[in-house]
Structure 1
Amino acid sequence: MNLMTRIRTMINAQAHQALDQAENPQAMAQQLLRELTEDLQRAQSSLVTALAAQRRLERERSQCDADADAWERKAAVLLKAEDEPNARVALERAVLARARGAAQDTSIESARCSVQRVRHQVDQLRRELEQTRLRAAQISASQTAAEASGIACHLGDHYSRSQARGREMERLMQRAGGLEATMEAASELMDADQQLDRAATAANLKADVDSALEVLKRRLQGEESA
């Protein structure tokens, strides 16, 4: 093999290698667009989960108040019938119901904050998706024009911007993907707080019941005097 043949062979090999390593900006942009769309769908699913948790806690809080009111009414009826032992039992359940409701307040507030954070992430991802769609359309149009005119190399700047956007999309995806784990950890902390609140309430339960009983007695006596 003479020198010129070797040179041609080397040049051809380098050209094929360059073609193999070349990336398609249009295909890459579409891939980034698909990934961002999936990221937004996951964030929206997390938002639905967070809203459901918040509403469940709010319903439980309302139910605790309703239960406490019902037990207090029963205690009043029993005390009027001079059945103080059972009136105390009813008041004990009313006090416990109030305590359970109060213990939910911190959890409800945390759930509301979580919903706001997730909603903010969803809004951010929606804006990023719209921007990415615009950039993807620009990249597609630029590449089509370049291929038609034989100047595809001019797409380098467009593709560089697409890669920068891709890194930003990846960062947002990681943040959105970690929301569910953050919410689970927050839920565990909420459960621990509720256990501490219930323990404290149980320690003071007798005093609360005694106080409630005295208030109820005085109210009933006032009603009888009137």
Structure 2
Amino acid sequence: MGILKRVRTILASNIHARISDAEDPEHIVNQSLREIERDLREAKAEYDAIEANCKRVKRELDQCISEMEKMERYAVKALESGDEGKARNFLEEKLNFKSRSQELKAQYEVAAVHVEQMKLVQEKLRQDFTELSERRDILVGRLTEAKSKQRMNELGPSQSNVRLTAFDQLEEKAERALAEAEAIEQLKRGLDDDIERISSK
């Protein structure tokens, strides 16, 4: 399907509606960007062809109008010189050019409308491309942030609590071992004192 047949669809399309309910919005955005780039290339090629045709028809129209005016001048001069036959021939030629100029004028008007349509299409596609690029960047940023938060949640509070609990248990064991060592030291000191008192008697 040619790009001109998609003019109304492209101009009426709403990019945001296309990705609002998507399961994988990043994939849809990237796919849409590729489609827009393709459409932009097609639109540029068709615009160049339509614009070239429009310019060609305009040149032909201008030339036809110029020839028509020339025939009219020749007819006037022929009448002034008294040559009605030549004047009639020039006027017939003028009518031929006038008929051709009307055809060319109609062709030019259609071509000019197509050129304007293609300008609008390219404008809309560029606008959509810019919007989608910006939206993709925001989306990628949010997905990255979400993944980071998921990792933090996986490694976060529960893991921290496990580590803190293990550290608390280790600290408690160390305190218990220290208390036991101090108790043994006190007992030993008490026994030594008792032995010393007995020996001195």
TM-score, normalising length: structure 1: 0.48
Superposition pairs for residues 18-37 of structure 1, below 5 Å?
Answer: 26=26, 29-37=29-37
How big is the shift at 1:150?
A: 4.1
2:124 counterpart of 1:117: no
- 1:104-157 Cα offsets, whole Å, 9 max, x none, are 332222223222322222222122111110121122223333444446xxxxxx
Corresponding residue for 1:56? Answer: 56
Higher RCO structure (Cα 8 Å, ≥6 apart)? 1
Q: RMSD of aligned C-alpha atoms? A: 2.6
Superposition pairs for residues 63-212 of structure 1, below 5 Å?
Answer: 63-150=63-150
> In the alignment, is the contact (CA less than 8 A) between 1:68 and 1:94 conserved in 2?
yes
TM-score, normalising length: structure 2: 0.53
Partners of 2:25 and 2:150 lie apart in 1 by 15
What residue ranges of structure 1 are gaps of 5+ in the alignment? 1-22, 152-226
- 1:54-95 Cα offsets, whole Å, 9 max, x none, are 332222221111001112222233334433323322221111
> In the alignment, is the contact (CA less than 8 A) between 1:25 and 1:143 conserved in 2?
no
> In the alignment, is the contact (CA less than 8 A) between 1:43 and 1:122 conserved in 2?
yes
> In the alignment, is the contact (CA less than 8 A) between 1:75 and 1:91 conserved in 2?
yes
How big is the shift at 1:49?
A: 2.7
> In the alignment, is the contact (CA less than 8 A) between 1:72 and 1:90 conserved in 2?
yes
Number of residues paired by the alignment? Answer: 129
Partners of 1:89 and 1:25 lie apart in 2 by 72
Partners of 1:74 and 1:28 lie apart in 2 by 67
Residue identity matched to 1:86 = K
Task: State the SS of the aligned residue for 1:82.
Answer: coil
- 1:20-77 Cα offsets, whole Å, 9 max, x none, are xxx9764553333222122123223323333333332222221111001112222233
Partners of 1:79 and 1:134 lie apart in 2 by 72
Bigger Rg over Cα: 2
> In the alignment, is the contact (CA less than 8 A) between 1:78 and 1:84 conserved in 2?
yes
What residue ranges of structure 2 are gaps of 5+ in the alignment? 1-22, 152-201
Partners of 1:31 and 1:134 lie apart in 2 by 15
How big is the shift at 1:97?
A: 0.8
Partners of 1:142 and 1:95 lie apart in 2 by 70
Partners of 2:28 and 2:149 lie apart in 1 by 21
> In the alignment, is the contact (CA less than 8 A) between 1:29 and 1:139 conserved in 2?
no
Residue identity matched to 1:111 = A
Partners of 2:46 and 2:134 lie apart in 1 by 26
